[in-house]
Amino acid sequence: MSRVKNEKPHLEFRRGKWCIVWWSDGKRNRLSTGTEDEAEGRRALADFECQLEKAPLKMTFSECLSRYVESRRGKVSDLKRLEEAVVPLRGMMGYLRIDQVTQREWDRYMAARFVKRSGVLTATPVSLGTLRREYNVLRASLRRAWKDGFLTRPPEIEPPRDSAPRDRFLTKTEARKLLDVCDTPHVRVFMAIAMYTGARKGSILSLTWDRVFWERDIIDFQEPGRPLTGKRRAIVPMTKDLRDELEHAYKMRNGDYVVHWHGKPVPTGLRWSFAKACERAGLNWKPTPHHIKHSVASWLAMDGVPIDQAADWLATDPITLRRVYRKFDPTYLRSIADGFKL
């Protein structure tokens, strides 16, 4: 029986010294470490493997992306979202070496990036928001490779343009129609919490009953032990209508999660259910769950709620909210207009 060939770099003791042995292009190579001490030999092997891995011709962009995703495991709250952004980058640019990822290749990527539906490429370009998210992953992965010594410097690649601010929002009349057509319990309670609090989808889907404080009429969206990120989660009081909705849901509960499907959490969102509810409500446009948060911000602006209070309610940076208030609050700059004279 033939001996199994170990192609990975490894140590062998030869003529009183430890040697590093590896295979390259079908040839066996050997390099003496110059020491008979095994510990020193292992350190020399570790240095050799590090230098071998850092050879620019060896690392592809696909491998670079995989290393970056692994480095973020356990450090980001939504690893699946990161993995989704990696898929098109790997599919269209993964064959390149990391030193070949340049502005020209990124421009080609943007020009060829179209929406896929049911695995079929359409003629619709992806949104600027999607391109920016993928650019951020590309940039972060290459900077990670640079910091680890695989690149002499990170490439200078221009980001895509910022997408225009979200202008369309649900009116309160549309919101009431949307809530009225929600007959499925988990969809209705999701809609009610979203419309009365303006919380993000992830905050609502991860909410458990132990963070609904009936005696104080408040909801705490911050998960215990969850690392704090830029997307803050608020503690907000319940409105009377929301409390009625939650009390009914509590009587029908089946598990720890407020929004659940047969006692289990709903981890991937409610895209299909949300879209169907919009159709039944007769809306002439296609909002997404995130439109609800934007809509609540718009309602608060039109109701004259101070920006700082709205920012605390929505767990959103006041600078971000000012863009909304400038569009929808008719009294936002009224005091200036009243005193402005020539």
Are residues 109 and 91 part of one domain? Answer: yes
| 163 lies in some domain | no
Q: What H or E segment, with its residue span, contains residue 335?
A: helix 334-339
3-state secondary structure of 207: coil
Are residues 213 and 119 part of one domain? Answer: no
Are residues 204 and 133 part of one domain? Answer: no
- Which residue spans within the chain are E strands per DSSP? 10-14, 17-24, 27-32, 114-117, 120-125, 212-213, 218-220, 235-237, 260-261, 264-265
Cα of 167 vs its chain's centroid, Å: 22
| 153 lies in some domain | no
Q: Which residues, given as ranges, of the chain have pLDDT below 50?
A: 1-2, 4
Look up the domain containing 83 and give its range: 61-147
| 159 lies in some domain | no
Residue 195 burial by Cβ neighbours in a 10 Å radius (0-12, 13-18, 19+):
buried
- CA–CA separation, 98 and 61 (whole Å): 5
- CA–CA separation, 21 and 102 (whole Å): 35
Are residues 92 and 143 part of one domain? Answer: yes
Please answer whether residues 302 and 329 qualify as being in contact, where contact means their C-beta atoms are separated by less than 8 angstroms.
yes
Last residue of some domain: 100, 132, 147?
147
Tokens 């929004």, residue located: 259
Q: What is the pLDDT of residue 1?
A: 43
Q: What is the CATH number of the domain that holds 328?
A: 1.10.443.10
| 155 lies in some domain | no
CA distances from 18 to 46, 96, 233 (A): 13, 36, 57
Strands 218-220 and 235-237: antiparallel
| 162 lies in some domain | no
Are residues 127 and 82 part of one domain? Answer: yes
| 5 lies in some domain | no
| 339 lies in some domain | no
Are residues 71 and 42 part of one domain? Answer: no
Are residues 196 and 266 part of one domain? Answer: yes
CA distances from 323 to 170, 198, 201, 287, 319 (A): 17, 17, 21, 20, 7
Domains identified in the chain, total number:
3
Are residues 300 and 194 part of one domain? Answer: yes
Q: What is the pLDDT of residue 216?
A: 92
CB atoms within 10 A of CB 145: 23
Are residues 221 and 135 part of one domain? Answer: no
Are residues 86 and 46 part of one domain? Answer: no
Q: pTM of this prediction?
A: 0.64
Q: What is the CATH number of the domain that holds 109?
A: 1.10.150
pLDDT in tens, 307-338: 889 888 888 888 888 877 666 656 666 667 77
Are residues 198 and 142 part of one domain? Answer: no
| 231 lies in some domain | yes
Last residue of some domain: 147, 162, 197?
147
Q: What is the pLDDT of residue 148?
A: 86
Are residues 184 and 239 part of one domain? Answer: yes
